[in-house]
Amino acid sequence: MGNTVIGIFGSRNAGKSSLLNSLSGQEVAIVSSVPGTTTDPVRKRIELPGIGICTVIDTAGLDDDGGDLGRERVARSLQAAEQVDLGIIVLSGNDFPPAAEDLTALLRRREVPFLLVHNREDEAPMTEGFAGQMRRRFGSEPMRYSCLKATTEDRDALTAAIRARLAEGLMRPRPMFEGLAAPGRRILLVCPIDSEAPEGRLILPQVMAIRSILDYGAVAQVLQPEQLEYEIRSYGEQISLVVTDSQVFARVAAIVPGSIPLTSFSMLLARSTGSLEVFRQGIRAVESLREGDTVLMLESCSHHANCEDIGRVKIPALLQKHCGCRLNFEMVSGLDPIKGDLSRYALAVQCGGCMVTPRQLRNRIAYVAESGLKLVNYGMLIAYLSGIYDRAIKPLI
Ligand code: SF4
């Protein structure tokens, strides 16, 4: 699920961009001996053996002392740490810069794994004293590396270390149908194939649902809304659960008898990634929205979102109708940092996040929730605004 994002952090001129080039085997980043060549986080897509295509964020130096601008650049580098699945902290000259303290504290708070690399081994090898100091603090020594002199074996070892750290830190979402599917149970999955459905395939949450149901030895019956009435008549009480796409929630709820539990893919996904409770609390904030309030819409795709219409048209219309007032909507696409003070928003609405890793989504949610801003997801909000939230949440609590 989603594209892995790796952040490269460190002091100016520690060799962050050189490390990116060394990893990719190409000159993808501009390298210079002038400290501070990378001024803003730069994203590059590279392919790493055993990991596949991933995005690497090359950040500005954590020790940038260029006045207000320098502080802003450091802040942006730290913000970039909110978006990564793994941090690589590049050190050199046996120095662990003070700003790296903030970075490691943030990564630890977000439970993001990180790898320390001591670069420029050819110029200033790591001393036993520094290695021991790092070992005591972080449980392992930095990896010795020289971007300038790295051999194929060195690069392979670095990639292997990255792979290992990513595997250690892999978030294992709760199985989607834990406690809901079991041998002999029949679960109906309502998947509309309409103009918004991707060409020739199902969307990822639907595929994940099928796999999870099969893992539990239950029967997954995939159908479109038009076929639902017939299937309900045919199987009746043998159906233990109906799961629907949020977009046809109201229509499906009108067909499925109250005796058959009903929920949505997005609610199951929220439970699986541990965000259900945050969103349940956020739902209450809908009733506090007032004329002129601003709602922050968070769309995890940076372009070509499959569900663009939901976030930009449907939810704004439904929400304003429900509240009976005019609201402002601001859209943030991708996982770029949300600029400015979050207190100016009255509510945040996060998309399903099907194109990002569970960790990236969880960290985005944690960042917003820590600010005190209430947060819901698209599917749960649609269920609430359609008047079927209580029914849809019941099988999951
Ligand atoms: S749910 Fe989010 S990540 Fe998935 S397609 Fe829609 S905007 Fe993109």
> What distance in Å separates the CA atoms of residue 18 and residue 58, rounded to the nearest whole number?
10
Query: For ligand 1, is residue 299 a contact (CB within 6 Å)?
Result: yes
Residue 310 CA to ligand 1 center (angstroms) comes to 10
Domain with CATH 3.40.50.11420 in the chain: 186-270
Domain with CATH 3.40.50.11410 in the chain: 278-385
Dump pLDDT digits (tens) for 3-32: 899 999 999 888 999 999 999 887 766 666
Q: Whole-prediction pTM value?
A: 0.80
**Atom of ligand 1 at shortest distance to CA of 352?**
1
Query: For ligand 1, is residue 298 a contact (CB within 6 Å)?
Result: no
> What distance in Å separates the CA atoms of residue 356 and residue 227, rounded to the nearest whole number?
32
Dump pLDDT digits (tens) for 129-171: 999 999 999 999 999 999 999 999 999 999 999 999 998 877 7
Dump pLDDT digits (tens) for 217-256: 999 999 999 999 999 999 988 999 999 998 898 899 999 9
3-state secondary structure of 281: helix
> Domain 278-385: which topology?
Rossmann fold (3.40.50)
Query: For ligand 1, is residue 86 a contact (CB within 6 Å)?
Result: no
Q: Which of 202, 264, 297, 301 to mutate to test the pocket of ligand 1 (most atoms within 8 A of CB)?
A: 301
Q: How many CB atoms lie within 10 A of CB 310?
A: 24
**Atom of ligand 1 at shortest distance to CA of 311?**
7
Query: For ligand 1, is residue 227 a contact (CB within 6 Å)?
Result: no
CA dihedral 265, 271, 274, 278 (to 10 degrees): 90
Q: Which of 83, 306, 356, 357 to mutate to test the pocket of ligand 1 (most atoms within 8 A of CB)?
A: 306
The reported pLDDT for the residue numbered 35 is: 61
Q: Using H for helix, E for strand and C for coil, what is the string for 110-136?
A: CCCCEEEEEECCCCCCCCHHHHHHHHH
Query: What average pLDDT score do residues 306-333 get?
Result: 91
Residue 356 CA to ligand 1 center (angstroms) comes to 8
Q: Which of 46, 106, 112 is nearest to 79 (CA)?
A: 106
**Atom of ligand 1 at shortest distance to CA of 333?**
7
Which residue puts its alpha carbon closest to atom 6 of ligand 1? 307
CATH H-level, domain 4-168: superfamily? P-loop containing nucleotide triphosphate hydrolases (3.40.50.300)
Residue 198 CA to ligand 1 center (angstroms) comes to 12
Query: For ligand 1, is residue 379 a contact (CB within 6 Å)?
Result: no
Query: For ligand 1, is residue 266 a contact (CB within 6 Å)?
Result: no
Across the chain, what does the average pLDDT equal? 90
Query: For ligand 1, is residue 1 a contact (CB within 6 Å)?
Result: no
Structure tokens at 309: 């219409």
Query: For ligand 1, is residue 349 a contact (CB within 6 Å)?
Result: no
CA dihedral 373, 288, 269, 170 (to 10 degrees): 10
Name which CATH class applies to 186-270.
Answer: alpha beta
> What distance in Å separates the CA atoms of residue 315 and residue 296, rounded to the nearest whole number?
12
Query: For ligand 1, is residue 269 a contact (CB within 6 Å)?
Result: no
Dump pLDDT digits (tens) for 52-70: 999 999 998 888 776 778 8
- Going from the C-alpha of 251 to that of each of 6, 123, 248, 256, 267, the distances in angstroms are 42, 68, 5, 9, 17
**Atom of ligand 1 at shortest distance to CA of 307?**
6
Domain with CATH 3.40.50.300 in the chain: 4-168
Q: What percent of the chain has pLDDT over 90?
A: 65
Tell me if 240 sits within 8 A of 395, measured CB to CB: no
The reported pLDDT for the residue numbered 119 is: 96
Which residue puts its alpha carbon closest to atom 3 of ligand 1? 353
Query: For ligand 1, is residue 205 a contact (CB within 6 Å)?
Result: no
> What distance in Å separates the CA atoms of residue 60 and residue 74, rounded to the nearest whole number?
7
Q: Say yes or no to pLDDT of 1 above 60.
A: no
